[in-house]
Amino acid sequence: MCIFCEIIAGKVPVHKVYEDSIVLAFLDIAQVTKGHTLVIPKEHSLHMLTCEDDIMLEVMRVAKRVGQNILEMTDAKGLNVLSNVHEIAGQTVPHFHVHLIPRYDENDAINIEFKESQPQNLKALAELLYLDCLY
């Protein structure tokens, strides 16, 4: 059983900020910034790409509402909404979760920087990645 399934089963205590029959939101044990929250589906799923669509909708619905509440109840001026897929992207817990990371100022412990890499052939890339239909 993964650590988040153990949390859902009540075997590992967490500080909950929201719960319903499908979704649980709780404070991340390693608070990157004050109020750093995880939103997870109760049904085990490896990551966001394997999560059922209807459950994903519920997770994001809760993430939206909890995110609004964080901004309302703290001094945070913004929020990073993040979900890591696979180890290479920083995923350490193999159970889909959305990070809500409140941002207070430039000295926050998180630094997300998008750097340009080699020039790419965007036309070919878009053709490669183009989806004719969703399913």
Q: Which residue has the tokens 């750097």?
A: 115
Report d(CA 10, CA 26) in Å as an integer: 13
The residue from 5, 18, 22, 28 that contacts ligand AMP (CB under 6 A) is: 28
Helix (H, G, I), strand (E, B) or coil at 94: coil
Does the annotation mark 36 as catalytic?
A: no
Contact 48, 58 (CB under 8 A): no
78/90 with CB nearer ligand AMP: 90
CB of 73 to ligand AMP, least distance (A): 20
- 47: which 2 tokens? 């990551």
Helix (H, G, I), strand (E, B) or coil at 60: helix
Q: Which residue has the tokens 């290479």?
A: 88
The residue from 61, 69, 84, 103 that contacts ligand AMP (CB under 6 A) is: 84
Q: Does 48 bind Zn ion (CB under 5 A)?
A: no
Q: Which residue has the tokens 């890339």?
A: 125
Exactly one of 36, 95, 97, 99 is catalytic; name it.
97
Return the range that interacts with ligand AMP (CB under 6 A); candidates 57-65, 67-75, 87-95, 114-122.
87-95
Residue 30 binds which entry of Zn ion, ligand AMP, none, with Cβ cut-offs from 5 to 8 Å by kind? ligand AMP
- Compute the CA torsion angle 2, 83, 91, 51 (nearest 10 deg): 50
The residue from 36, 95, 97, 99 that contacts Zn ion (CB under 5 A) is: 95
Binding site for Zn ion (CB under 5 A): 2, 4-5, 44, 95
